[in-house]
A and B are shown apart, each in its own frame.
Chain A
Amino acid sequence: MAGENIPKDLINAIGTESSPLENDIEKGAIRRFAEAIEDSNLIYIDESYAKKSNYRNVVAPPTFLRSINTNPLPENIKSPYSAVVDGGSVWEYFEPVCAGDVITTKTKLQDVFDRDGRLGNMIFIVKVTSYTNQKSKLVAT
C-alpha cells in the first residue's frame, strides 16, 4: 500500500517551512566554488570581465546556491531508512546572483511519498528552497 511505510510525523511535517536565513555572497566563496567544480569561466573570477558582460560583480555559478546555508525545518525530518541518496534537483533561475548580494533562503517540505523500486521501498522527500536577494526579488528556487 502506498504510504504505509512513511512515518506519520514525516507526513505531518509536509508544508512546514524553515525560518529565513540571510547569506552574504562573498567573492572568495564564489571563486573557491568555481575552482572546485573546475569551471574557469571568467565571469566567476574576474570582476572587470564580469562588469564588461553587464553584471554588477562576479557572478555565482548556477549551482552555487546549493552551497549557501538554510535554517533547518522546524520538525526534525528523518527517513526511517539508513541509505539516503540525492535523487536529483530542479533549479529555476530568475535573476543573476553576484558577489555582494545578500540572499535570504527559506526551505519548505513540499512533499513526501514512497515508491517500490528495484532495491525495495523508497521514500522520496521533496524540499523546495527559495532564494531572495536584498531587493526582495526572488532570484531562484
Chain B
Amino acid sequence: MNQNLFLEDISTGMAIPTIKKDPTTQQLVKYAGASGDFYQIHYDMDYAKNNGLPGVILHGALKNAFLAQLLTDWIGPLGKLTKLEVQYRGMDLPGVPVYAKGNVNEISANGTISCEIWLEKEDGEKTTVGKAVISLPSKN
C-alpha cells in the first residue's frame, strides 16, 4: 500500500492488484453512522426480510468505497483518481467476502488511464461493475 505508481509502470491489459474486503454487520452499522445513511435494510434484519431481501445488505455506497480503495491503494498518494463510475448489479451480504478487481483498458496519449473495475464474490458473480479514469506522474 501507498507505494508510488508511475505512468511507466503500467501497460494496457494489466491487472490492478486485487483487494479482499470482509464486510460484517458491524461494518454496516459503522458505515451507516459515518455516512448518515440510515436506511433500515442495511442493519435491521426484520425490516430487510419484510422487504423481500434475504437479510441486511451492503450499502451501494460502501461497495463504491471498496472500489475507490482498489484504485487509491494501487496508484499511491501521487496518482489522481479523476472519474469513478459504478453500477450495482447484485446484492452483497455481510459475512460474504468480496474481491475488488480491475484491469487497465486504455492509456491515452495525454497520460489519462481508463480502467474497468468490479466487485466479485468467491463464486465469480460480479455484483458491482464500473469504470474509472486515473492519471499518474511520469518518472521523467
Residues of A bordering B, CB below 8 Å: 29, 32-33, 35-43, 53-55, 61-63, 66-67, 69, 83, 85-94
Contacts and interface: CB of A to CB of B under 8 A. Distances in A.
B50 to A, nearest CB: 11
Question: Main secondary structure on chain B at its contact with chain A?
Answer: mixed
Interface in B15-52: 21, 27, 30-31, 33-37, 51-52
B1 interface: yes
A123 to B, nearest CB: 16
Interface of B: 1-2, 21, 27, 30-31, 33-37, 51-52, 59-62, 64-66, 68-69, 71-73, 77-78, 80-88, 130
A66 B61 contact: yes
Contacts of A54: 77
A36 B69 CA distance: 13
B81 A41 contact: no
10 cross-chain pairs, A with B, having the tightest CB-CB distances, nearest first: A53-B77, A36-B34, A88-B87, A86-B60, A62-B68, A36-B30, A67-B35, A37-B65, A91-B84, A36-B31
Given A62-B84, A85-B88, A41 B30 contact: no
Contact of A37 (B1, B2, B66, B84): B66
B78 to A, nearest CB: 7
Contact of A32 (B34, B83, B130): B34
B69 A37 contact: yes
Contact of A89 (B34, B77, B85): B85
B86 A88 contact: yes
Contacts of B72: 39, 41, 61-62
Nearest to B128: A88
A93 B82 contact: yes
A41 B2 contact: yes
A40 B69 CA distance: 10
A89 B51 contact: no
28 contacts: A32-B33, A32-B34, A33-B35, A35-B30, A36-B27, A36-B33, A36-B34, A36-B35, A37-B31, A37-B34, A37-B66, A39-B65, A39-B72, A41-B1, A53-B78, A54-B77, A61-B65, A62-B72, A66-B35, A67-B34, A86-B60, A87-B60, A88-B60, A88-B88, A88-B130, A89-B61, A90-B85, A93-B84
A79 to B, nearest CB: 14
Nearest to A94: B82
Contact of A93 (B51, B65, B77, B81): B81
Nearest to B28: A36
B36 A69 contact: yes
B123 to A, nearest CB: 20
